[in-house]
Amino acid sequence: MHPSGHNWEGENLKSVVCDHRQVPSNEHGSRDVDFVLGDGEALNREHPRTFEIPSREERERLKPGDLVKLLFEILRPEPEGPFAERMWVEVTEIVGDGYVGSLDNDPQVIRSVRPGGRIEFLPHHVIAIWDDGV
């Protein structure tokens, strides 16, 4: 289990995949969001010794209940602020080649998604998989 132990309830987000990133929209179809999901595979290719990610096989065999870390890149970061937030998402469904999950963190900078918010993602977005040692 994730160390936060939270069961979040939050807004329901839908998502569309755009190139290698994911641009969410809210339940009314608005794309007034402040993040895109980062491509963990691309970052790993650029920085293989300092940005390690799970194997493709591990990222493709996730199941409901698994916790994964995704990189939420801020679209318009403040000059003195962070450019991204790394947050945990609990996998809730497998959909085609991708996943649907529920945000298991409380964002510090990002405002367009809340704890419990629906996140759709693909294996290349996964930068870590929670291992509770079992």
Domain hosting residue 19, numbered range: 13-129
Share in percent of the chain as helix, strand, coil (round to 5): 10, 35, 50
Q: What pLDDT score does 133 carry? A: 72
Q: What percent of the chain has pLDDT over 90?
A: 69
Structure tokens at 59: 């990222």
**Count of alpha carbons within 13 angstroms of residue 119, beta-carbon side:** 34
Bridge partners of 111, per DSSP, are none
Is pLDDT at 105 greater than 70 in this prediction?
yes
Residue 117 lies in a domain: yes
What is the CB neighbour count within 10 angstroms for residue 119?
Answer: 25
Residue 103 lies in a domain: yes
Structure tokens at 114: 């809340």
Tally of domains in the chain: 1
Residue 120 lies in a domain: yes
What whole-number distance in Å separates Cα of residue 35 and Cα of residue 84?
8
Average pLDDT of 7-36? Answer: 46
Residue 2 lies in a domain: no
Residue 91 lies in a domain: yes
Predicted model pTM:
0.76
Residue 3 lies in a domain: no
Average pLDDT of 2-8? Answer: 34
